[in-house]
């Protein structure tokens, strides 16, 4: 496996020299400053590549191997009039990335917002901080802060009561922080920042978009993009929806193994790949991650190795766990990925994802989930598993 590390560019508090010290060899990054729907110019791609890969005397070499992510414009997801120009821009970006030698490209098809949490600094018994999604807090936001008209249909009486109890204990500062956490999005997301009114307006544009329509728009997008990706030798890998279920009345279509079976049957191109985000899929109770790693091993070109612990009272709520101490059998997942590599003869890019904020990083400002030490701990644990399993599989 190629050990990779997500880097948010020159302004990331975790520097390239820090990454070298982790032992990671490959960089996962994107040109976050380019507006969604615009073409990534070859000049900007090559400048970023030179920054990452340029020789530094006495320093270990790094390689920009994976793009995460090239954003898909919401007009494409909605199938809006004129969306073909955004598809054309996506194709041009793929062509420029291929010219620069970058051939694994991650994307997602989540409407309006990217991955969502309700707490970016949840305190663990150890004193470290984790990301958390609390279903009742989310419902309090949806019902009583966002005040989405249709929200009452999505919750039962007991859920509404718990959400109201939470909302009534919230201070103005609590409300502001929750709005910022959910609506403004997270660092690394590609959807822009919203105020509440903007967010309501964005949700309204999906009012008539069903799950079937969203899936059809994904397939239409791939009809154009995948033949180009094949010719370029690019693997286009889709990231699952996080959390993997409908939220805010928005349909989500990459949540389960059945969703993946549909996608790969409809679009069998070898360039139609999967970014196996273990933690995202693992937060859906129906997903068996070792089985999915085996079932879709021929489609997995990139994997986020993290896990979650789901609440016993409501498994829709979860806390991001230590990399080897979640609800998921991470060792079995890694074993299946190693077996897939041997069958295909192609190594998979993996990265530690969403590490806990801990030790000296508690006093530092970092992208939520992307502080250095927690991910370093996760990578060290994962590396140990890989080395041990590799010896057994030889």
What's residue 187's pLDDT?
A: 46
Question: What is the pLDDT averaged over residues 239-252?
Answer: 96
pLDDT category of residue 253 using cuts at 50, 70 and 90: very high
Q: Does residue 356 have an active-site annotation? A: no
pLDDT(162) > 50: yes
**Mean pLDDT score, 48-52:** 97
pLDDT band at 55 (very low <50, low <70, confident <90, very high): confident
| Residue-level pLDDT at 195 | 82
- Residue 193's pLDDT is 61
Exactly one of 26, 74, 239, 356 is catalytic; name it.
239
Q: Considering the domain boundaries, does residue 76 fall inside one?
A: yes
Is residue 173 in some structural domain? no
Determine which one of 26, 353, 356, 361 is catalytic: 353
Residue 374 near residue 14, CB atoms below 8 Å: no
Residue 43: other Cβ atoms inside 10 A: 9
Q: Please say if 255 is a catalytic residue.
A: no
Q: Does residue 32 have an active-site annotation?
A: no
Q: Is the pLDDT of residue 248 over 50?
A: yes
Residue 160 within a domain: no
Q: Residues near 225 by Cβ (< 8 Å), separated by ≥ 6?
A: 87, 90, 91, 94, 236
pLDDT digits (tens, 9 = 90+) for 123-146: 999 999 999 999 999 999 999 999
Residues above pLDDT 90, as percent of the chain = 92
27 domain-assigned:
yes
Residue 168, domain member (yes or no): no
pLDDT at 338: 97
Domain that includes residue 280, residue range? 2-118+208-393
Closest of 307, 313, 292 to residue 353, by C-alpha:
307
Query: Any catalytic annotation for residue 277?
Result: yes
353 catalytically annotated:
yes
User: Is 370 part of the annotated catalytic residue set?
Assistant: yes
Which of the following is catalytic: 107, 194, 206, 370?
Answer: 370
- At 185 the pLDDT is 58
Select from 194, 186, 240 the least CA-distant residue to 368. 186
Given the residues 86, 277, 284, 301, the one annotated as active site: 277
Query: Would you state the pLDDT for residue 83?
Result: 97
Confidence of residue 393 (pLDDT cuts 50, 70, 90): low
The domain tally of the chain equals 1
What are the pLDDT digits (tens) for 70-109? Answer: 999 999 999 999 999 999 999 999 999 999 999 999 999 9
Residue 53 lies inside a defined structural domain of this protein: yes
Structural domain includes residue 134: no
Q: Annotated catalytic residue: which of 73, 304, 323, 356? A: 304
CATH of the domain at 50: 3.20.20.150
Burial (CB count within 10 angstroms: exposed 0-12, middle 13-18, buried 19+), residue 382: buried
pLDDT at 184: 66
Q: What is the C-alpha separation between 215 and 181, in angstroms, rounded?
A: 28
What are the tens digits of pLDDT across the range 187-230? 444 455 668 998 999 999 999 999 999 999 999 999 999 999 99
* pLDDT above 60: residue 312: yes
Please report the DSSP string for 37-92 in residue order.
TS---HHHHHHHHHHHHS--TTS---EEEEEE-PPPPHHHHHT-TTTHHHHHHHHH
pLDDT value of residue 192:
56
Q: Are 191 and 112 in contact (CB under 8 A)?
A: yes
Task: Quote the strand ranges of the chain, DSSP E.
Answer: 2-6, 26-29, 63-68, 104-107, 119-123, 129-133, 235-238, 272-277, 300-305, 308-310, 318-320, 349-352
State the pLDDT at residue 217: 98
Residue 175 lies in a domain: no
Look over the chain and give the mean of its residue pLDDT values, rounded to a whole number: 95
Active-site residue, selected from the candidate residues 241, 354, 356, 361? 354
As a whole number, mean pLDDT of residues 357-383 equals: 96
Q: What is the pLDDT at residue 190?
A: 44
């Amino acid at each position: 496996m190629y050990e990779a590390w997500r880097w948010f560019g020159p302004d990331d508090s975790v520097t390239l020299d820090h990454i070298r010290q982790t032992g990671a060899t490959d960089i996962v990054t994107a040109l976050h400053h380019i507006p969604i729907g615009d073409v990534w110019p070859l000049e900007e791609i090559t400048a970023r590549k030179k920054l990452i890969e340029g020789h530094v005397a006495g320093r270990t070499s790094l390689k920009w191997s994976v793009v995460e992510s090239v954003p898909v414009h919401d007009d494409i997801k909605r199938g809006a009039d004129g969306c073909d120009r955004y598809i054309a821009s996506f194709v041009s970006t793929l062509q420029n990335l291929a010219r620069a030698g970058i051939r694994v490209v991650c994307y997602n098809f989540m409407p309006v917002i990217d991955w969502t949490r309700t707490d970016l600094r949840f305190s663990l018994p150890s004193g470290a901080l984790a990301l958390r999604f609390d279903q009742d807090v989310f419902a309090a936001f949806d019902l009583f802060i966002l005040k989405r008209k249709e929200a009452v249909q999505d919750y039962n009486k007991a859920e509404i009561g718990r959400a109201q109890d939470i909302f009534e204990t919230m201070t103005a500062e609590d409300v502001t922080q929750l709005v910022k956490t959910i609506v403004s999005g997270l660092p690394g997301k590609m959807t822009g920042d919203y105020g509440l009114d903007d967010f309501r307006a964005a949700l309204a544009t999906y009012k008539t978009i069903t799950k079937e329509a969203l899936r059809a728009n994904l397939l239409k997008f791939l009809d154009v993009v995948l033949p180009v990706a094949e010719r370029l030798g690019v693997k286009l890998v889709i990231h699952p929806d996080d959390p993997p279920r409908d939220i805010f009345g928005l349909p989500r279509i990459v949540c389960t193994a059945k969703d993946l079976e549909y996608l790969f049957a409809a679009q069998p191109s070898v360039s139609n790949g999967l970014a196996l985000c273990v933690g995202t899929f693992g937060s859906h109770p129906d997903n068996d991650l070792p089985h999915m790693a085996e079932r879709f091993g021929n489609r997995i070109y990139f994997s986020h190795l993290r896990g979650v612990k789901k609440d016993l009272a409501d498994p829709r709520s979860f806390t991001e766990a230590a990399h080897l101490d979640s609800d998921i059998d991470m060792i079995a997942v890694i074993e299946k990925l190693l077996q897939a590599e041997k069958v295909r003869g192609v190594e998979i890019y993996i990265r530690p994802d969403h590490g806990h904020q801990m030790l000296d990083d508690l006093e530092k400002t970092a992208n939520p989930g992307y502080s250095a030490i927690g991910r370093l701990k996760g990578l060290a644990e994962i590396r140990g598993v890989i080395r041990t399993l590799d010896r057994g599989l030889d």
